[in-house]
Structure 1
Amino acid sequence: MKLYQYHHCPYCVRTDMVANYKNVTHEKIYLLNDDEQSCFDLVNAKVCPILQFDDGTAIKESLDIVAKLDELGDSDKVITNKNKGDVYEQLFAEIKPSTRILTYPRTIMIGLPEFATQSAKDYFQGKKETMIGMTFDKAMAASPEHINIVDPILALLPELPIQDTLGIDDILLFPILRNLSMVKGLTFKQQTLDYMQHIAKLTNSELYFSRAL
Protein backbone atom coordinates (compact mmCIF):
# COMPACT_ATOMS: atom_id res chain seq x y z
CA MET A 1 0.00 0.00 0.00
CA LYS A 2 1.01 3.59 -0.57
CA LEU A 3 -0.03 6.54 1.57
CA TYR A 4 0.21 9.79 -0.40
CA GLN A 5 0.41 12.83 1.83
CA TYR A 6 1.82 16.24 2.70
CA HIS A 7 3.94 16.52 5.84
CA HIS A 8 2.13 19.66 7.06
CA CYS A 9 -1.46 18.66 6.28
CA PRO A 10 -3.52 17.96 9.44
CA TYR A 11 -5.76 15.56 7.52
CA CYS A 12 -2.71 13.70 6.26
CA VAL A 13 -1.25 13.57 9.76
CA ARG A 14 -4.41 11.82 10.96
CA THR A 15 -3.82 8.96 8.56
CA ASP A 16 -0.07 8.80 9.10
CA MET A 17 -0.60 8.60 12.87
CA VAL A 18 -2.89 5.61 12.50
CA ALA A 19 -0.75 3.84 9.89
CA ASN A 20 2.22 4.06 12.25
CA TYR A 21 0.31 3.23 15.42
CA LYS A 22 -1.43 0.22 13.84
CA ASN A 23 1.83 -1.07 12.31
CA VAL A 24 0.38 -1.08 8.79
CA THR A 25 3.02 -1.96 6.20
CA HIS A 26 2.97 0.88 3.69
CA GLU A 27 5.08 3.24 1.63
CA LYS A 28 4.93 6.95 2.49
CA ILE A 29 4.91 9.22 -0.55
CA TYR A 30 5.17 12.97 -0.06
CA LEU A 31 3.78 14.69 -3.14
CA LEU A 32 4.96 18.13 -4.18
CA ASN A 33 2.24 20.59 -3.26
CA ASP A 34 1.70 21.66 -6.87
CA ASP A 35 1.53 18.09 -8.21
CA GLU A 36 -2.12 18.08 -9.21
CA GLN A 37 -1.77 15.35 -11.83
CA SER A 38 -0.82 12.56 -9.40
CA CYS A 39 -3.89 13.28 -7.29
CA PHE A 40 -6.22 13.35 -10.29
CA ASP A 41 -4.72 10.12 -11.60
CA LEU A 42 -5.45 8.41 -8.29
CA VAL A 43 -8.82 9.84 -7.17
CA ASN A 44 -9.81 12.43 -9.79
CA ALA A 45 -9.39 15.34 -7.38
CA LYS A 46 -6.60 17.55 -5.97
CA VAL A 47 -6.71 16.16 -2.44
CA CYS A 48 -4.48 14.49 0.12
CA PRO A 49 -4.23 12.10 1.87
CA ILE A 50 -4.79 9.24 -0.55
CA LEU A 51 -4.44 5.55 0.29
CA GLN A 52 -3.65 3.34 -2.70
CA PHE A 53 -4.04 -0.40 -2.38
CA ASP A 54 -1.84 -3.01 -4.02
CA ASP A 55 -4.44 -3.60 -6.74
CA GLY A 56 -4.16 0.07 -7.79
CA THR A 57 -7.47 1.25 -6.37
CA ALA A 58 -7.39 4.25 -4.05
CA ILE A 59 -9.52 6.08 -1.50
CA LYS A 60 -9.49 9.64 -0.17
CA GLU A 61 -11.06 11.40 2.86
CA SER A 62 -8.91 11.21 5.98
CA LEU A 63 -11.40 9.55 8.32
CA ASP A 64 -12.31 6.93 5.70
CA ILE A 65 -8.60 6.14 5.40
CA VAL A 66 -8.29 6.06 9.20
CA ALA A 67 -11.14 3.53 9.37
CA LYS A 68 -9.54 1.34 6.69
CA LEU A 69 -6.12 1.45 8.35
CA ASP A 70 -7.74 0.58 11.67
CA GLU A 71 -9.36 -2.42 10.00
CA LEU A 72 -6.16 -3.57 8.30
CA GLY A 73 -3.71 -2.93 11.12
CA ASP A 74 -2.66 -4.66 14.31
CA SER A 75 -5.83 -5.67 16.18
CA ASP A 76 -4.00 -5.34 19.50
CA LYS A 77 -3.54 -1.62 18.85
CA VAL A 78 -6.95 -0.30 19.87
CA ILE A 79 -8.36 3.08 18.82
CA THR A 80 -10.76 4.38 21.46
CA ASN A 81 -13.98 6.28 20.80
CA LYS A 82 -14.47 10.01 20.77
CA ASN A 83 -14.82 11.58 24.21
CA LYS A 84 -13.98 15.28 24.47
CA GLY A 85 -13.28 15.89 20.81
CA ASP A 86 -16.23 18.23 20.39
CA VAL A 87 -14.80 20.49 23.10
CA TYR A 88 -11.45 20.68 21.35
CA GLU A 89 -13.04 21.31 17.96
CA GLN A 90 -15.15 24.16 19.32
CA LEU A 91 -12.17 25.83 21.00
CA PHE A 92 -10.03 25.79 17.88
CA ALA A 93 -12.89 26.76 15.57
CA GLU A 94 -13.00 30.10 17.40
CA ILE A 95 -9.42 30.92 16.42
CA LYS A 96 -9.11 29.28 12.99
CA PRO A 97 -8.33 32.57 11.18
CA SER A 98 -5.45 33.24 13.58
CA THR A 99 -4.05 29.72 13.43
CA ARG A 100 -4.04 29.93 9.64
CA ILE A 101 -2.28 33.30 9.66
CA LEU A 102 0.35 31.91 12.03
CA THR A 103 0.97 28.55 10.36
CA TYR A 104 0.50 29.05 6.62
CA PRO A 105 3.53 31.29 5.97
CA ARG A 106 5.75 29.20 8.23
CA THR A 107 4.72 26.00 6.46
CA ILE A 108 6.82 26.81 3.40
CA MET A 109 9.77 28.02 5.47
CA ILE A 110 10.65 24.98 7.60
CA GLY A 111 11.99 22.53 5.03
CA LEU A 112 9.08 20.18 4.40
CA PRO A 113 9.26 17.70 1.49
CA GLU A 114 6.15 18.94 -0.33
CA PHE A 115 7.88 22.33 -0.78
CA ALA A 116 11.14 21.06 -2.25
CA THR A 117 10.67 23.25 -5.35
CA GLN A 118 9.96 26.95 -5.70
CA SER A 119 6.92 26.21 -7.85
CA ALA A 120 5.43 24.11 -5.04
CA LYS A 121 5.99 26.97 -2.59
CA ASP A 122 4.48 29.49 -5.00
CA TYR A 123 1.44 27.28 -5.60
CA PHE A 124 0.73 26.98 -1.87
CA GLN A 125 1.46 30.64 -1.14
CA GLY A 126 -0.87 31.91 -3.86
CA LYS A 127 -3.79 29.84 -2.62
CA LYS A 128 -3.28 30.49 1.07
CA GLU A 129 -2.69 34.23 0.75
CA THR A 130 -6.10 34.43 -0.94
CA MET A 131 -7.60 32.40 1.91
CA ILE A 132 -6.20 34.57 4.73
CA GLY A 133 -6.61 37.86 2.85
CA MET A 134 -3.03 39.05 3.22
CA THR A 135 0.48 38.35 1.99
CA PHE A 136 2.68 35.94 3.90
CA ASP A 137 4.99 38.84 4.75
CA LYS A 138 2.11 40.70 6.38
CA ALA A 139 1.01 37.52 8.15
CA MET A 140 4.46 37.02 9.64
CA ALA A 141 4.56 40.65 10.75
CA ALA A 142 1.17 40.17 12.42
CA SER A 143 2.37 37.15 14.42
CA PRO A 144 2.39 38.87 17.84
CA GLU A 145 -1.25 39.92 17.43
CA HIS A 146 -2.37 36.41 16.54
CA ILE A 147 -0.23 34.70 19.15
CA ASN A 148 -2.14 36.82 21.66
CA ILE A 149 -5.39 35.39 20.26
CA VAL A 150 -4.27 31.76 20.24
CA ASP A 151 -2.50 31.67 23.63
CA PRO A 152 -5.70 32.05 25.71
CA ILE A 153 -7.29 29.11 23.86
CA LEU A 154 -4.25 26.95 24.52
CA ALA A 155 -4.56 27.89 28.18
CA LEU A 156 -8.20 26.73 28.16
CA LEU A 157 -7.40 23.22 26.97
CA PRO A 158 -8.46 20.69 29.61
CA GLU A 159 -5.96 18.15 30.88
CA LEU A 160 -5.28 15.86 27.93
CA PRO A 161 -5.17 12.09 28.51
CA ILE A 162 -1.80 10.38 28.37
CA GLN A 163 -2.41 6.69 27.81
CA ASP A 164 -1.03 3.77 25.85
CA THR A 165 -3.92 3.63 23.40
CA LEU A 166 -4.70 6.11 20.64
CA GLY A 167 -8.14 7.71 20.56
CA ILE A 168 -10.25 9.43 17.95
CA ASP A 169 -9.84 12.58 20.04
CA ASP A 170 -6.06 12.32 19.62
CA ILE A 171 -6.40 11.80 15.88
CA LEU A 172 -8.42 15.01 15.62
CA LEU A 173 -6.49 17.16 18.13
CA PHE A 174 -2.83 16.25 17.77
CA PRO A 175 -2.46 17.45 14.14
CA ILE A 176 -3.68 20.92 15.16
CA LEU A 177 -1.31 21.18 18.10
CA ARG A 178 1.53 19.74 16.05
CA ASN A 179 1.20 22.45 13.40
CA LEU A 180 1.10 25.13 16.07
CA SER A 181 4.45 23.81 17.30
CA MET A 182 6.04 25.54 14.28
CA VAL A 183 5.12 28.96 15.78
CA LYS A 184 7.80 30.35 18.05
CA GLY A 185 6.35 32.35 20.92
CA LEU A 186 3.17 30.38 21.54
CA THR A 187 2.71 29.25 25.15
CA PHE A 188 1.85 25.60 25.76
CA LYS A 189 1.02 24.35 29.24
CA GLN A 190 3.43 21.71 30.49
CA GLN A 191 0.66 19.11 30.50
CA THR A 192 -0.15 19.92 26.87
CA LEU A 193 3.53 19.59 25.97
CA ASP A 194 3.69 16.24 27.76
CA TYR A 195 0.64 15.08 25.82
CA MET A 196 2.10 16.23 22.50
CA GLN A 197 5.39 14.45 23.15
CA HIS A 198 3.54 11.29 24.20
CA ILE A 199 1.33 11.16 21.10
CA ALA A 200 4.30 11.95 18.86
CA LYS A 201 6.15 8.96 20.30
CA LEU A 202 3.08 6.70 20.22
CA THR A 203 2.45 7.43 16.53
CA ASN A 204 6.03 8.04 15.34
CA SER A 205 5.10 11.62 14.41
CA GLU A 206 7.33 14.68 14.28
CA LEU A 207 6.74 17.85 16.24
CA TYR A 208 8.04 21.12 14.78
CA PHE A 209 9.48 22.80 17.88
CA SER A 210 13.04 22.41 16.61
CA ARG A 211 12.07 24.19 13.35
CA ALA A 212 9.83 26.84 14.89
CA LEU A 213 9.93 30.38 13.49
Structure 2
Amino acid sequence: MKLYQYHHCPYCIRADMVANYKNVPHEKVYLLNDDEQSCFDLIGAKVCPILQFDDGTAMKESLDIVAKLDALGDKAKVISALEDGDKFEQLFVKIKPSMRILTYPRTILIGLPEFETQSARDYFEGKKEKMIDMSFEQATMQSAQHIGIVNAVLAQLPELPINADLGMDDILLFPTLRNLSMVKGLNFKPQTLDYMQHIAKLTNSELYLAQAL
Protein backbone atom coordinates (compact mmCIF):
# COMPACT_ATOMS: atom_id res chain seq x y z
CA MET A 1 0.00 0.00 0.00
CA LYS A 2 0.96 3.61 -0.52
CA LEU A 3 -0.06 6.54 1.65
CA TYR A 4 0.09 9.78 -0.34
CA GLN A 5 0.36 12.83 1.86
CA TYR A 6 1.82 16.22 2.71
CA HIS A 7 3.97 16.40 5.83
CA HIS A 8 2.30 19.57 7.11
CA CYS A 9 -1.30 18.54 6.42
CA PRO A 10 -3.30 17.95 9.65
CA TYR A 11 -5.62 15.54 7.83
CA CYS A 12 -2.69 13.61 6.43
CA ILE A 13 -1.03 13.24 9.81
CA ARG A 14 -4.19 11.58 11.14
CA ALA A 15 -3.73 8.77 8.63
CA ASP A 16 0.03 8.63 9.08
CA MET A 17 -0.29 8.39 12.87
CA VAL A 18 -2.56 5.37 12.61
CA ALA A 19 -0.52 3.64 9.90
CA ASN A 20 2.55 3.90 12.12
CA TYR A 21 0.83 3.06 15.40
CA LYS A 22 -0.98 0.03 13.95
CA ASN A 23 2.18 -1.24 12.19
CA VAL A 24 0.50 -1.28 8.77
CA PRO A 25 3.08 -2.03 6.04
CA HIS A 26 2.98 0.91 3.65
CA GLU A 27 5.07 3.27 1.56
CA LYS A 28 4.91 6.97 2.39
CA VAL A 29 4.71 9.16 -0.70
CA TYR A 30 5.11 12.90 -0.13
CA LEU A 31 3.66 14.73 -3.11
CA LEU A 32 4.90 18.15 -4.15
CA ASN A 33 2.24 20.65 -3.14
CA ASP A 34 1.62 21.73 -6.74
CA ASP A 35 1.35 18.17 -8.07
CA GLU A 36 -2.34 18.17 -8.94
CA GLN A 37 -2.10 15.45 -11.57
CA SER A 38 -1.11 12.63 -9.22
CA CYS A 39 -4.16 13.29 -7.03
CA PHE A 40 -6.51 13.50 -10.02
CA ASP A 41 -5.09 10.27 -11.44
CA LEU A 42 -5.74 8.47 -8.15
CA ILE A 43 -9.09 9.85 -6.98
CA GLY A 44 -10.19 12.58 -9.38
CA ALA A 45 -9.60 15.49 -7.00
CA LYS A 46 -6.74 17.53 -5.51
CA VAL A 47 -6.94 16.24 -1.93
CA CYS A 48 -4.74 14.33 0.49
CA PRO A 49 -4.30 11.93 2.18
CA ILE A 50 -4.89 9.17 -0.33
CA LEU A 51 -4.51 5.48 0.49
CA GLN A 52 -3.73 3.34 -2.54
CA PHE A 53 -4.07 -0.43 -2.29
CA ASP A 54 -1.90 -3.02 -4.00
CA ASP A 55 -4.58 -3.58 -6.68
CA GLY A 56 -4.35 0.09 -7.69
CA THR A 57 -7.63 1.23 -6.17
CA ALA A 58 -7.51 4.24 -3.87
CA MET A 59 -9.56 5.98 -1.21
CA LYS A 60 -9.68 9.50 0.26
CA GLU A 61 -11.11 11.21 3.39
CA SER A 62 -8.79 11.10 6.40
CA LEU A 63 -11.17 9.53 8.91
CA ASP A 64 -12.26 6.86 6.43
CA ILE A 65 -8.59 6.05 5.88
CA VAL A 66 -8.04 6.00 9.66
CA ALA A 67 -10.87 3.46 10.02
CA LYS A 68 -9.47 1.31 7.21
CA LEU A 69 -5.95 1.33 8.62
CA ASP A 70 -7.32 0.52 12.06
CA ALA A 71 -9.09 -2.53 10.62
CA LEU A 72 -6.03 -3.66 8.67
CA GLY A 73 -3.45 -3.10 11.39
CA ASP A 74 -2.17 -4.82 14.51
CA LYS A 75 -5.20 -5.95 16.53
CA ALA A 76 -3.21 -5.63 19.75
CA LYS A 77 -2.85 -1.87 19.15
CA VAL A 78 -6.17 -0.45 20.33
CA ILE A 79 -7.60 2.94 19.35
CA SER A 80 -9.98 4.17 22.03
CA ALA A 81 -13.26 5.90 21.20
CA LEU A 82 -13.75 9.66 20.99
CA GLU A 83 -14.32 11.33 24.36
CA ASP A 84 -13.27 14.99 24.43
CA GLY A 85 -12.49 15.69 20.78
CA ASP A 86 -15.50 17.96 20.28
CA LYS A 87 -14.50 20.04 23.29
CA PHE A 88 -11.00 20.59 21.90
CA GLU A 89 -12.43 21.44 18.49
CA GLN A 90 -14.64 24.13 20.03
CA LEU A 91 -11.60 25.69 21.70
CA PHE A 92 -9.50 25.85 18.55
CA VAL A 93 -12.21 26.75 16.05
CA LYS A 94 -12.43 30.21 17.63
CA ILE A 95 -8.81 30.94 16.79
CA LYS A 96 -8.54 29.20 13.43
CA PRO A 97 -7.83 32.48 11.57
CA SER A 98 -4.94 33.25 13.93
CA MET A 99 -3.55 29.73 13.63
CA ARG A 100 -3.60 30.00 9.84
CA ILE A 101 -1.92 33.40 9.85
CA LEU A 102 0.85 32.01 12.05
CA THR A 103 1.41 28.61 10.45
CA TYR A 104 0.89 29.15 6.72
CA PRO A 105 3.91 31.44 6.13
CA ARG A 106 6.13 29.22 8.27
CA THR A 107 5.05 25.99 6.59
CA ILE A 108 7.06 26.66 3.43
CA LEU A 109 10.21 27.64 5.37
CA ILE A 110 10.90 24.62 7.59
CA GLY A 111 12.23 22.12 5.06
CA LEU A 112 9.20 19.92 4.36
CA PRO A 113 9.30 17.52 1.38
CA GLU A 114 6.20 18.92 -0.35
CA PHE A 115 7.96 22.27 -0.76
CA GLU A 116 11.24 21.15 -2.30
CA THR A 117 10.64 23.23 -5.43
CA GLN A 118 9.97 26.94 -5.83
CA SER A 119 6.85 26.20 -7.87
CA ALA A 120 5.43 24.12 -5.00
CA ARG A 121 6.10 26.94 -2.53
CA ASP A 122 4.57 29.51 -4.89
CA TYR A 123 1.49 27.33 -5.40
CA PHE A 124 0.90 27.00 -1.65
CA GLU A 125 1.57 30.68 -0.99
CA GLY A 126 -0.86 31.81 -3.68
CA LYS A 127 -3.69 29.66 -2.40
CA LYS A 128 -3.19 30.33 1.29
CA GLU A 129 -2.79 34.09 0.89
CA LYS A 130 -6.32 34.09 -0.54
CA MET A 131 -7.56 32.12 2.48
CA ILE A 132 -6.09 34.54 5.03
CA ASP A 133 -6.75 37.60 2.85
CA MET A 134 -3.25 38.97 3.20
CA SER A 135 0.28 38.35 1.96
CA PHE A 136 2.61 36.03 3.87
CA GLU A 137 4.76 39.08 4.53
CA GLN A 138 1.85 40.88 6.16
CA ALA A 139 0.94 37.78 8.14
CA THR A 140 4.47 37.44 9.48
CA MET A 141 4.45 41.07 10.56
CA GLN A 142 1.30 40.37 12.59
CA SER A 143 2.81 37.36 14.39
CA ALA A 144 2.97 38.93 17.85
CA GLN A 145 -0.73 39.77 17.85
CA HIS A 146 -1.79 36.29 16.81
CA ILE A 147 0.69 34.52 19.10
CA GLY A 148 -1.08 36.29 21.96
CA ILE A 149 -4.48 35.06 20.76
CA VAL A 150 -3.31 31.45 20.42
CA ASN A 151 -1.44 31.50 23.73
CA ALA A 152 -4.66 32.49 25.50
CA VAL A 153 -6.32 29.30 24.24
CA LEU A 154 -3.29 27.09 24.93
CA ALA A 155 -3.47 28.30 28.52
CA GLN A 156 -7.05 27.01 28.71
CA LEU A 157 -6.21 23.47 27.63
CA PRO A 158 -7.00 20.97 30.38
CA GLU A 159 -4.47 18.35 31.40
CA LEU A 160 -4.27 15.98 28.46
CA PRO A 161 -4.30 12.25 29.22
CA ILE A 162 -1.08 10.38 28.50
CA ASN A 163 -2.19 6.82 27.80
CA ALA A 164 -0.41 3.72 26.59
CA ASP A 165 -2.89 3.38 23.71
CA LEU A 166 -3.81 5.88 21.02
CA GLY A 167 -7.29 7.41 21.08
CA MET A 168 -9.50 9.19 18.58
CA ASP A 169 -9.10 12.29 20.73
CA ASP A 170 -5.34 12.13 20.04
CA ILE A 171 -5.91 11.63 16.31
CA LEU A 172 -7.99 14.81 16.18
CA LEU A 173 -5.99 16.97 18.62
CA PHE A 174 -2.34 16.13 17.97
CA PRO A 175 -2.22 17.42 14.35
CA THR A 176 -3.28 20.89 15.50
CA LEU A 177 -0.73 21.01 18.30
CA ARG A 178 1.97 19.55 16.03
CA ASN A 179 1.48 22.31 13.46
CA LEU A 180 1.46 25.00 16.14
CA SER A 181 4.84 23.70 17.29
CA MET A 182 6.42 25.40 14.24
CA VAL A 183 5.63 28.82 15.76
CA LYS A 184 8.31 30.27 18.03
CA GLY A 185 6.79 32.17 20.95
CA LEU A 186 3.82 29.92 21.62
CA ASN A 187 3.68 28.83 25.24
CA PHE A 188 2.85 25.16 25.62
CA LYS A 189 2.27 24.22 29.24
CA PRO A 190 4.76 21.57 30.41
CA GLN A 191 2.02 18.95 30.60
CA THR A 192 0.81 19.80 27.10
CA LEU A 193 4.36 19.49 25.81
CA ASP A 194 4.74 16.12 27.56
CA TYR A 195 1.53 14.98 25.86
CA MET A 196 2.73 16.16 22.44
CA GLN A 197 6.06 14.38 22.81
CA HIS A 198 4.33 11.22 24.03
CA ILE A 199 1.95 11.07 21.06
CA ALA A 200 4.79 11.84 18.65
CA LYS A 201 6.75 8.88 20.03
CA LEU A 202 3.69 6.59 20.15
CA THR A 203 2.89 7.25 16.48
CA ASN A 204 6.43 7.73 15.15
CA SER A 205 5.54 11.31 14.22
CA GLU A 206 7.53 14.52 14.28
CA LEU A 207 7.04 17.79 16.09
CA TYR A 208 8.37 21.02 14.57
CA LEU A 209 9.90 22.46 17.73
CA ALA A 210 13.44 22.27 16.37
CA GLN A 211 12.45 24.16 13.20
CA ALA A 212 10.20 26.73 14.90
CA LEU A 213 10.30 30.23 13.45
Band the TM-score falls in, shorter-chain normalisation: over 0.9
Aligned-pair identity (%):
77
Tell me, in whole angstroms, the C-alpha distance in 1 between the residues paired with 2:29 and 2:61.
16
The letter of the residue matching 1:195 is: Y
Residue correspondence of structure 1 range 149-168 to structure 2 within 5 A = 149-168=149-168
Tell me, in whole angstroms, the C-alpha distance in 1 between the residues paired with 2:138 and 2:75.
48
The letter of the residue matching 1:192 is: T
The letter of the residue matching 1:129 is: E
**Residues 1:92 and 2:120 are matched in the alignment:** no
In the alignment, what sits opposite 2:193? 193
Tell me, in whole angstroms, the C-alpha distance in 2 between the residues paired with 1:149 and 1:155.
10
In the alignment, what sits opposite 2:128? 128
Measured against aligned partners, the alpha-carbon deviations of 1:40-72 in whole angstroms (never above 9, x if no partner) come to 000000000000000000000000000000000
What RMSD in Å do the two structures reach over aligned CA positions? 0.3
The letter of the residue matching 1:168 is: M
In the alignment, what sits opposite 1:170? 170
Shift of 1:33: 0.1
Tell me, in whole angstroms, the C-alpha distance in 1 between the residues paired with 2:36 and 2:189.
39
Measured against aligned partners, the alpha-carbon deviations of 1:74-104 in whole angstroms (never above 9, x if no partner) come to 0000000001111100000000000000000
The letter of the residue matching 1:84 is: D
With structure 1 as the length reference, what TM-score do the two structures score?
Answer: 1.00
Runs (5+) with no aligned partner, structure 1: none
With structure 2 as the length reference, what TM-score do the two structures score?
Answer: 1.00
Q: Secondary structure at the match of 1:179?
A: helix
The letter of the residue matching 2:48 is: C
The letter of the residue matching 1:178 is: R
The letter of the residue matching 2:206 is: E
Q: Secondary structure at the match of 2:205?
A: coil
The letter of the residue matching 1:85 is: G
Tell me, in whole angstroms, the C-alpha distance in 1 between the residues paired with 2:200 and 2:114.
21
Runs (5+) with no aligned partner, structure 2: none
Tell me, in whole angstroms, the C-alpha distance in 2 between the residues paired with 1:130 and 1:86.
28
Q: Secondary structure at the match of 1:3?
A: strand
The letter of the residue matching 1:14 is: R
In the alignment, what sits opposite 1:30? 30
Shift of 1:117: 0.2
Aligned residues: 213
Shift of 1:165: 0.3
